[in-house]
Amino acid sequence: MASSADGRTAALSAQLARAHRDLRRHLTEVRTGLGRRRPAGGDTLLTHCLAFCTALTNHHQGEDEGLFAALVRERPDLAPTVAALVEDHGLIAGILTRVRELAEEAERATASPDGDLEAIGRELDGLAAIMESHFGYEERAIGAALDAGVPDDGWREPVLHFRAP
């Protein structure tokens, strides 16, 4: 159990689920903003996409480099599960790279911006499906182990309390 800001304890699995909900919400905002060149707040499409891509990348790097290493030290039996999750992260990273490239192209496009937006939308739709499956599996597969306690060697901030740029 980990202390929350108000002094109550919160299960790490619940904190992870909350972080995943925040990432889902952010992706929904990006997808909703595709039809507008300037999503909420006046940011450009590129800025909005990059903020989401950065938040998700930081979350996954924090898991790969911190949480998962600590988890496997405590629970070596979870190594195959962690390996599958890390593999998913690689797949997701590839999609995020494509989204970044398409967003950059859309920002520069003057001839066919709608085509660029459609391509981004398809990538984001695929990303949403993979994220949903990945997050659900991750929460089920490691939730109990998280709640049993995983030493924090600095992994909590990027994994549970990330800040979108």
Residue 3 pLDDT > 50, yes or no?
Answer: no
The full set of domain ranges for the chain reads 11-160
Identity of the residue numbered 104: E
* CATH 3.30.460.10, applies to 11-160: no
The answer, as to whether pTM is greater than 0.85, is no
Residues 12 and 87: their CA atoms lie apart, in Å, by 22
pLDDT digits (tens, 9 = 90+) for 59-87: 999 999 999 999 999 999 999 999 999 99
How far is CA 85 from its chain centroid? Answer: 12
pLDDT band at 39, cuts 50/70/90?
A: very low
DSSP for 7-45 reads S-EE-HHHHHHHHHHHHHHHHHHHHHHTTSSS-GGG--H
At residue 48, the pLDDT reads 78
Inter-residue contact 16 to 138 (CB < 8 Å): yes
